[in-house]
Structure 1
Amino acid sequence: MTEPDLVLTIAGLAIIGATVGLLIWGKVSPVVAMALVPTVGALVLGYGFEELQTFFSSGMDQVMSVVVMFIFAIIFFGILSDAGLFDPVIRRLILLTRGRVLLVAIGTVLIGALAHLDGAGATTFLLTIPALLPLYQALNMSKYLLLLLVSLSASIMNMVPWGGPLIRAASVIGEEPGEMYQQLVPLQGAGLLMLLALAVLLGLREIRRINAKVGAGLVTSTGNVDVSQIADDFTARQKEERKDLEGKINANKVIYWLNIVVVIAVLATMLAGWLEPALSFVLGVAVLLPMNFNSAKLQMDRMKAHAPNALMMASVIIAAAVFLGVLNESGMLENVALAMLQIIPESVGQYLHLIVGFFGVPLDMLTSTDAYYFSVLPLVEATAGEFGVAASSTAFALVIGNVIGTFVSPFAPAVWLAMGLAEADIGKHIRYSFVIMWGFSVALLLVAVLMGIVQV
């Protein structure tokens, strides 16, 4: 076995440790941590500006297509949200629950999955919680069950290639997120079926809890719930939020169906591999803008409206190009992996990705998402790779293990939005959801192994 360079090993560990520490500390932006720490580390080691530029260029080559795809995917789904594409479907699902606890639990999963098609947690919670919370309250259902089911359905949908986890993982191992997602589609389908089964079990448990409370005289039996009024309130709220767009957006029924055709076309060309995901979304935005907005000014205004969300993650990934470029091109990451090989028994090394994936949910509680993907994943991938584990297999194991825990972690800003919308307590949410979400994550990882998505 090649002996690791002690200086590069120590420097690599110091950079990874300092970056993770700053991200967990939460006092600086991820851009600051991932750009400055490796730059300072490289300069201390004696690398010059020319070498730094080379490192950065290498990192940018690795992430650029991901950045472009993410920016245009956010704008793409933002335009569809402006057009109210998903509102009629959500309204219909609310009506289909008919005020029955079991159907409400199942409907919550479907609504949460639909609302998270854009991969943005904040949008998901803004759509689902105000729409469903009155229904839960009317039926004496726990708002923490609502948070759990929406969090799980959003987590499963968060495997989409424009979602944060897969984008980060793809940028780290240098693969196209669209190609990675093609392998995850069957698992995503299986995950949703598993979640629907879990929703039935949790719904039955909730019925028993409510009946016990009714029997003890703690709550009164609800009887008939006016689901139509709740659906009407949802529709009215969505119209109020879009009142600034009234008269500015093409609201013709034909346009609504054409929007659906464009969504299908973009996803089909991407998943079939006919076009790169970035180009699919660029073309999708180019079609949606003039179709929904008549003037160039309005089209630019809507792009500006969605730009902050698009640029936030893009800036983090570009900063990560510095981190990844320095660690990879300087040889630091390789030497840290070699050092770990001397510590990890060979019998364990080939399962390292599974072990880390198994602990993905608790790790998300201890680190930030950026720290997990940009610091832990490169290290695990480099080490497991020495035991013959494919980079994609390591990435899948860590994504599947971690993605389910995203919306139970206090490090996720969207979780705090959910707590505010539901008037819930973060501690109670964690106590109610953590064990179930971790168990679901482990079960999903096992299914991925059985499907051959994760190599053993």
Structure 2
Amino acid sequence: MLAILGFLMVITFLYLIMSKRVTPFTGLIIVPVIYGIIGGFGFQLGPMMMDGVLNTAPTALLILFAILYFGIMIDTGLFEPLTNKIIKIAKGDPLKVIVGTAILAGIVGLDGDGSTTIIIVVSAFLPIYIKLGIKPIILASITVLQIGITTLVPWGGPVGRVASVLNLDPTSLFRTMVPGMIVSLIYIVLVAYIIGRKERARLGIHNPYLNMNDQTESMMSAAVENVVIKRPELRWLNFILTIVIMAALLLEWLPPVVLFILGTAIALLINYPSIIDQRERVQKHAPNALSVTSIMLAAGVFAGILKETQMSAAMAQSLITIIPDGIGSFLPIVIAVLSIPGLFLIGPDAFYFGIIPVISETASIYGVSEMEIAIASLYGTSFGFIGPLVGAMYLLTEMTKVNLGDVQKYAAKWAIGVFLIYIIIGVTLGHILL
């Protein structure tokens, strides 16, 4: 009975999300509560929900303050010199422009917010792509491929989702992904180089300094933003603060949540001493931070009810009967492969909140750890980010005026390489076992 109830709960959630009948926040709360009441748990649901929320609270708070921190850093213009430098180096050469796109997207994307990265990169480079005759689909594809990699930072969506639902430390999960991420970022830069050479040959521009001044000025003007909130005189101080936070995060000097709470407070105090300015900065980035954080906490409600009612355990037991003998130990690889269509077709919310908890419970019976399942489920993220259920993709296609389907087809063939890199490095380092 519990297994049937659990599967119905997950299916209902998936249907409502995919059909866009409810938001992830609403579905993650209302659906499990209804099925919990149907299961006869009634007044027991309160403590179950609270346990789930308490488990996801650290991850939710990490994402909240990380988004605020990087939003403030972008406001101060921390990344502006990098953007301008890359643009100046490009000097109108299609090859350098495309490689520069990959480098900028890879660095700015570390803020974990795909929409912000898209705005910065596309605003800086789109006028140049148009001026030089470079296909805008290249700009869209290179940008989204890099975001699909950098979104795996602890304050990004995928890691936060799977960490919250499996009650894992997002920073520990991130550290296992770092080697694959580094190689993948370099791989996309090489992809950009290959594409850039083809574009240079197609356009017939063999003199990279042709019309250098006009093109550089156009590029630079595209990157100019509101100078009132910029803090160029504090750029080095902001850079040092960011580096210290990143180092402390990787070396575990302080809990990740504490690091970004302190970092946000220090950043506000240094850059915007006025109370009015501080309030404006927080208010600007609060909607984005709150929307993501609320989903993380709602996921705690879903996971808490699914686990504490024993539905997930019953579902796992029922799945064992249909899993062929000898396949159980290979579940991480199976999940890695399934993450491609799973993330692309049903989206990250449905995949991580609806499917992964059940798979993880089943895998534990075969001795496969939650960490292995979490790692494997992240390998298809590059495909997930180009999926039709990711809102940032529509921002990208709107800004570049490129068809969504065209971007998906163009980027998918290169995303396969990212997936294979993750698999090879994951198996080599023992993060997932064969």
- Aligned-pair CA distance for 1:115: 1.8
Give 1:166's aligned residue. 159
State the match for 2:404 in structure 1. 426
Deviations 1:257-296 (A, max 9, x none): 1101110111111111111110000000111101001212
Equivalent residue number for residue 19 of structure 2 = 25
* 1:135-163, Cα deviation, whole Å (9 max, x unpaired): 22333322112111111111111111000
Q: 1:250 to 1:156 in 2, by over 3 A?
A: closer
Cα displacement (A) at 1:234: 4.9
Displacement of 1:233 in angstroms is: 4.1
Is contact 1:250–1:291 with CA below 8 Å preserved after alignment? no
Q: 1: distance between equivalents of 2:215 and 2:167?
A: 46
Structure 2 residue runs without a partner (length 5+): none
Distance 2:408 2:27 in 1: 28
Output the CA distance in 1 between the equivalents of 2:215 and 2:119.
16
Q: The residue matched to 2:321 in structure 1 has which SS?
A: helix
Q: Provide the aligned length of Structure 1 versus Structure 2.
A: 434
Offset at 1:320? 0.9
Is the CA contact 1:97–1:107 (under 8 Å) kept in the aligned structure 2?
yes
Q: Distance in 2 between matches of 1:165 and 1:36?
A: 22
1:194-250 per-position Cα deviation (integer Å, ceiling 9, x unaligned):
222222233334345x16xx6xxxxx99975545545544544554x425xx1xx47
Partner residue of 1:334? 313
AA of the residue aligned to 1:449: V
Matched, 1:154 2:132: no
Alignment of 1:127-142 (within 5 A): 127-142=120-135
Q: Please give the alpha-carbon distance, in whole angstroms, between the structure 1 residues aligned to 2:215 and 2:20.
A: 39
Task: Measure how far apart 1:95 and its partner are.
Answer: 1.4
| Percent of matched pairs sharing the same residue | 29
* TM-score, normalization by structure 1: 0.90
User: What is the match of residue 226 of structure 2?
Assistant: 242
Equivalent residue for 2:172, pick from 169, 175, 179 = 179
Name structure 1 gaps, 5 residues minimum: 1-6, 215-219
- Pair 1:251-2:231 in alignment: yes
Q: Which residue of 1 aligns with 2:35?
A: 41
Determine the structure 2 residue equivalent to 1:414.
Answer: 392
Contact 1:178 1:276 in 2 (8 A): no
Farther off after superposition, 74-83 or 180-189: 180-189
Q: Give how far 1:445 is off.
A: 2.2
Rounded Cα–Cα distance in structure 1 between residues aligned with 2:136 and 2:196: 13
Q: Does 1:394 align with 2:387?
A: no
1:172 is displaced (CA, Å) by 1.5
Shift of 1:442: 3.1
Give the Cα separation in 2 of the matches to 1:16 and 1:29.
15
In structure 1, the partner of 2:57 is 64
Q: Find the residue that maps to 2:389 and give its secondary structure.
A: coil
Within the alignment, does 1:264 sit opposite 2:243 as a pair?
A: yes
- What is the root-mean-square deviation of aligned Cα atoms in Å? 2.0
Cα distance in structure 2, aligned partners of 1:385 and 1:442: 25
| 1:295 corresponds to which of 258, 274, 286 | 274
- Contact 2:142–2:411 (CA<8 Å) still a contact in 1? no
> Is residue 131–residue 230 contact of structure 1 (8 Å, CA) maintained in 2?
no
Find the counterpart in structure 1 of residue 45 from structure 2: 52
Letter in 2 for 1:149: I
The separation in 2 between residues aligned to 1:230 and 1:308, in whole angstroms, is 36
How does the TM-score come out when normalised to structure 2? 0.95
Q: Which residue of 2 aligns with 1:369?
A: 348
Q: 1:47 Cα deviation (Å)?
A: 0.7
Aligned residue number for residue 3 of structure 1: none
What secondary structure sits across from 1:159 in the alignment? coil
Q: Match of 1:287, SS? A: helix
2-structure distance, mates of 1:158, 1:252: 27
CA offset at residue 439 of structure 1? 4.1
Contact 2:77 2:232 in 1 (8 A): no
Distance in 2, Cα, partners of 1:192 & 1:257 = 25
| 1:164-188 deviation line (CA, Å, top 9, x unaligned) | 0111111112111112212222222
Structure 2 match to 1:4 = none
Contact 1:95-1:228 within 8 A present in 2 as well? no
Q: 1:153 to 1:250 in 2, by over 3 A?
A: closer
Distance 1:347 1:421, change over 3 A: same
Aligned to 2:420: 442
Seen in structure 2, the aligned counterparts of structure 1 residues 413 and 231 have a Cα distance that, compared at 3 Å, is: farther
Give the letter for the 1:102 counterpart: L
The answer for the alignment partner of 1:273 in structure 2 is: 252
- 8 Å Cα contact 1:135-1:227 kept in structure 2: no
SS in 2 for 1:347: coil
Q: Deviations over 1:341-393 (max 9, x none)?
A: 11011222222221221232322221021001111211221122211111111
What CA deviation, in whole Å up to 9, does each residue of 1:82-136 have, x standing for no partner? 1011011011011112322332222111110122121111111111112112222
Q: Distance in 1 between matches of 2:162 and 2:343?
A: 15
Task: Write the distance in 2 (CA, Å) between the matches of 1:140 and 1:237.
Answer: 16
> What is the aligned partner in structure 1 of residue 336 from structure 2?
357
Give CA-to-partner distance per residue, 1:5-57, whole Å, 9 cap, x none: xx0000000000000111111131111111000000000111122x1111111
Q: Counterparts of 2:189 and 2:160 in 1: how far apart (Å)?
A: 26
